Amino acid sequence: MLRHEFQPGRLVAGLFLTLGGVLYAGDAAGAWDTPWFVLIPLVTGGLCLAGATAVVAGGIRRRRRGAPRGTREGAGTPH
């Protein structure tokens, strides 16, 4: 099995979309009453949080990729 890189933004987006689906399914089944306006900010906020998570993770990934392993970036250089 091929390994793939972990993408936390997709994880966050999936969690929020799954939560939206669970809320919608529970409302459709009659388990609870979810107002129609709840899902829009939930999904929109989740997608914004997923985008921010992806940007931060991408920045960390780029920073780690540029520095050699075992050394800190900027170590030993005078300021």
Residue 78: the pLDDT is 58
* Cβ-contact 21, 66 below 8 angstroms: no
pLDDT band of residue 1 (cuts 50, 70, 90) is: confident
pTM above 0.85, yes or no: no
Residue 3: the pLDDT is 86
The amino acid occupying position 78 is P
Question: In whole angstroms, what is the distance from residue 53 CA to residue 56 CA?
Answer: 5
Helices 39-66 & 8-29, crossing angle to 10 degrees?
160
Residue 59: the pLDDT is 93
Average pLDDT, the chain: 87
Residue 57: the pLDDT is 95
